[in-house]
Amino acid sequence: MVQARRAFLDKGYYQPLLDSMLALYQKYGDKNSAVFDAGCGEGFYTHQHKTE
């Protein structure tokens, strides 16, 4: 299931959502704060946040 989810996410279907989330974080987020990702799948969004 995790591999299928990763394959789906890697195709970019949720890229608009990811872009919106990153834009909001860049606008309102505190660059010095930690992000706690608990029970959120396999970390796709957190990893993308970390690389931006």
Q: What is the pLDDT of residues 1-50, one digit of tens each?
A: 788 988 998 999 989 998 998 898 889 888 788 777 777 678 888 787 77
pLDDT of residue 36: 75
44 residue type, one letter: F
DSSP the chain: -HHHHHHHHHTTTTHHHHHHHHHHHHHH--TTS-----SSTTSHHHHHHHH-
Integer angstrom CA distances of residue 45 from 1, 4, 49: 17, 16, 6
**Contact indicator for 34, 7 with CB cutoff of 8 Å:** no
pLDDT of residue 35: 74
pLDDT of residue 51: 63
Q: State both tokens at 29.
A: 């987020």
What is the reported pTM? 0.65
